[in-house]
Amino acid sequence: MGTIGDVGEFGLIARLTRRLPPGPSVPLGPGDDAAVVAAPDGRVVATTDLLVEGRHFRRDWSGPYDIGRKAAAQNLADVVAMGARPTALLVGFAAPPSTDAEWAERLYDGLADECRAAGASVAGGDVVGAPEITLAVTALGDLGGGAPLTRSGARPGDVVAVRGRLGHAAAGLALLTAGLEGPAELIAAHRRPEPPYAAGGEARAHGATALLDVSDGLVQDLGHIAAASGVRIDIDSAAVPVPDVLGPDGLRHALTGGEDHAFAGSFPPDARLPATWRRIGVVAEGSGVHVDGREPPAGGWDHFRT
Ligand SMILES: Nc1ncnc2c1ncn2[C@@H]1O[C@H](COP(=O)(O)OP(=O)(O)O)[C@@H](O)[C@H]1O
Ligand SMILES: Cc1ncc(C[n+]2csc(CCOP(=O)(O)OP(=O)(O)O)c2C)c(N)n1
Ligand SMILES: [Mg+2]
Ligand SMILES: [Mg+2]
Ligand SMILES: [Mg+2]
């Protein structure tokens, strides 16, 4: 089929959008000046996360399908972390003209499949030529009449709980970086996060007082809840799920590794959480995040310090 330079801008758009299924919340999808997205609640939850080649993924480490799934997952998880139902993605795609057109099509298959898993679809986007591959994804969501689950509602006495994997993507990235063989599930976790999208509805149903998705590292991200809520979060490291597959640095990966897009939040002390949620700590008066009563280990992703 050739490169995206061979097929040209409008040939590429046709090839990509052909692969996108219609979505329940997108009455008018790709093909016009803009899309129409249903917003039954009347308010729209909106979030955007960029993915840059070499920073978020490497083409020699991840195939296009997984990069597409990851780009969608990273954004859909932020909508779910607000307690909303994802409705649509808008996808900006920058790539060199030498990019294989089939590579781009597989990327869109990944975007489409991850959207399907979350009940959303791709409503539109943009393509441009650029020296490196960049994906600029915007996700929209609907609150269904509920209050948003913000970072600012945690109260002393609440319990802190997580749902989803911690440390897996970081352990996989560490293996790839070191050029080591390791458990395939860790490499797969780096390539494709698999956020447990049901967590948003569950958190809402159980009265969550705050919620976020863990993108940069558990301790760092819980620090955002602590700061926004004006509280301290005390984590009990023995309660943090650290499966053997994570290896000897498992606890460090679980506390500081991002990109699994687990959901972490605070709940009233008497919340009866499903077994899929793990209680890992409590909310107290004060500030910051403590692990076993001490300052936590350094770590967590910072784009300008990593
Ligand atoms: N360039 C920017 N302009 C405006 N707001 C931004 C910008 N970058 C980040 N933010 C906002 O700062 C907050 C934290 O961003 P970030 O750490 O990327 O969140 P998340 O981990 O949920 O993706 C978000 O509300 C985001 O919208
Ligand atoms: C090639 C490569 N190097 C390093 C990483 C690790 N990494 C890149 S971004 C990031 C944090 C999450 O991404 P970010 O853009 O901060 O998302 P947000 O917090 O805004 O949701 C991590 C752990 C990676 N995924 N791939
Ligand atoms: Mg972000
Ligand atoms: Mg994010
Ligand atoms: Mg981040």
303 C-beta neighbours (distance < 10 Å), count: 10
* Residues 55 and 170 occupy one common structural domain: no
In this structure, which residue's CA is closest to atom 2 in ligand 1?
Answer: 48
Residue range 241-284, pLDDT digits in tens: 999 999 999 999 999 999 999 999 999 999 999 999 999 999 99
With a Cβ cut-off of 6 Å, ligand 2 is lined by 49, 54-58, 74, 173, 215-216, 258-259, 301, 303
* Residues 26 and 129 occupy one common structural domain: yes
* Residues 115 and 218 occupy one common structural domain: no
CATH number at residue 206: 3.90.650.10
Determine whether the shortest distance from the Cβ of 215 to ligand 1 is under 6 A. Answer: yes
pTM of the predicted protein model: 0.98
Task: For residue 74, report the distance from its CA to the centre of ligand 3, in Å.
Answer: 8
Distance of CA 227 to CAs 13, 61, 151, 193, 263, Å?
43, 35, 9, 26, 18
Domain that holds residue 127: 4-142
What per-residue confidence (pLDDT) applies to 241?
Answer: 98
Q: Does the annotation flag 151 for ligand binding?
A: yes
* Residues 122 and 163 occupy one common structural domain: no
Q: Total structural domains in the chain? A: 2
* Residues 95 and 189 occupy one common structural domain: no
Residue range 67-115, pLDDT digits in tens: 999 999 999 999 999 999 999 999 999 999 999 999 999 999 999 999 9
In this structure, which residue's CA is closest to atom 19 in ligand 2?
Answer: 215
* Residues 98 and 15 occupy one common structural domain: yes
What per-residue confidence (pLDDT) applies to 297?
Answer: 83
* Residues 115 and 35 occupy one common structural domain: yes
What per-residue confidence (pLDDT) applies to 298?
Answer: 86
> In this structure, is residue 215 part of a structural domain?
yes
In this structure, which residue's CA is closest to atom 16 in ligand 1?
Answer: 49
